[in-house]
Amino acid sequence: MRHFVIVGVLIAVLTPLTYVGLTAANLMPVQASAQSLFVDQMWDWDMMMISFLFALIMVPMFYSLIVFRRRKGDTTDGEHSEGNTTLELTWTIIPLFIVIFFSYLGAYNLGETRIEDPNAMVIKVTARQWDWSFSYPEGFDSNELHLPVNQQVVLKMESMDVIHSFWVPEFRIKQDIVPGRVTEYRITPILLGNYKVRCAELCGASHAYMEKPVIVTSRDEYDAWVKARAAEAAALAAAGGPPNGKLLVANKGCAGCHTIDGSKLVGPTWRGLFGSQVKLADGSTVTADEAYLTESIQNPSAKIVAGFQDGVMPSFKDRLTEKQIMDIVSYIETLK
């Protein structure tokens, strides 16, 4: 009995020390959303249980190594044991109730993170290799996600190619984006600041660089930003031409695959492209005129440039109007 008491006391001492050490390490980023409070509560319970299990394993193991080690000169056999039914029932029943408790806790916290606000703002998110773009209800796109503080936002997310995963560590919640489906992500920012959205699903060669700014501001600052961007987008769309094409290229993720400085990415560079002779994968050559570029935007698989793969670029036929495509082509024409 003396050994059990000593081991019990040591476990009771090591458990809180381990927990304090883990929490002092600041393993989690700041809490920037209302949902993060519930996630971190679950994380805290996990840390408590991990600390207890660590002590429950380490203390008896090291205590036994020290106290019950074979002494020098001792050649006798160890005490024979046939098992302990009470002990076996205990370490089966108690963990069962612990698992049930954590299952309930997880289900409850999941429900709390998915509570719907009828006044939630809706922003559309498009994921593609390897970029994000955001469409606001005021009728413009941006490559930055701006959110007002203390306002629930529903992100309706689509993927143009492969599976991606929307993850802002400070928000805690993570949601996969599956091609052919619209997935929802509800978040209520509670802390002003600049963050980053990252892709948490391995999605190809440039997966590590698939990130964009997430900016949480006051409601007044958010409204001012939206008003300015909407006015800018409307003015450029009305004027058309290369300036609007440049804005579309930035907001539609084209820069993730095409450069304007002559370097090579997933797709051909646009520098000096317009009017040049392009060698295709089938050995033929085509002039990069307005018709060719328009076809490449609407049906990328029609003509594959030599040295590049088919199926990488999605079709923008239903995502861009004819005028928007013309503006992008006119912008490419300026890249001499």
Q: Where are the domains of the chain?
A: 1-60+94-115, 121-229, 240-333
State the DSSP H helix or E strand holding residue 136, giving kind and residue range, or none if neither: strand 131-136
| Most distant pair of Cα atoms in the chain: their distance | 96
Q: Give the pLDDT confidence score for residue 81 in this predicted structure.
A: 77
Structure confidence at residue 167 (pLDDT): 95
Segments of the chain with pLDDT less than 70: none
What is the enclosing helix (H) or strand (E) of 127? Answer: strand 121-128
Q: So what's the pLDDT on residue 15?
A: 94
**Residue 231: predicted pLDDT:** 87
Query: Candidates 1.10.760.10, 3.40.50.1440, 2.160.10.10, 1.20.1440.60; correct CATH number of 240-333?
Result: 1.10.760.10
pTM: 0.75
Q: Which fold has domain 121-229?
A: Immunoglobulin-like (2.60.40)
Which H or E run includes 10? helix 2-24
Planar angle of CA 111, 196, 245, nearest 5 degrees: 115
In 117-172, which residue ranges form alpha helices assigned H by DSSP?
none
Instruction: Map residue 154 onto helix, strand or coil.
Output: strand
**Whole-number CA gyration radius for the chain:** 29
Q: Dihedral, CA atoms, 327, 331, 332, 335, nearest 10 degrees?
A: 170
Q: What angle do CA 18, 20, 25 make, to 5 degrees?
A: 100
Name the amino acid, one letter, at 50.
I
**Lookup result for tokens 């089938």:** 282
Q: Give Cα 301 to chain centroid, integer Å.
A: 29
Q: How many CA atoms lie within 13 A of 14 on its CB side?
A: 19
Of 242, 196, 193, give the one whose Cα is nearest residue 217: 193
By the 8 A CB rule, do 277 and 296 touch?
A: no
Structure tokens at 26: 């600041």
pLDDT tens for 22-81 read: 888 888 899 999 999 999 999 999 999 999 999 999 999 999 888 888 778 777 777 777
41 burial (CB, 10 Å; 0-12 / 13-18 / 19+) is: middle
pLDDT of residue 235: 79
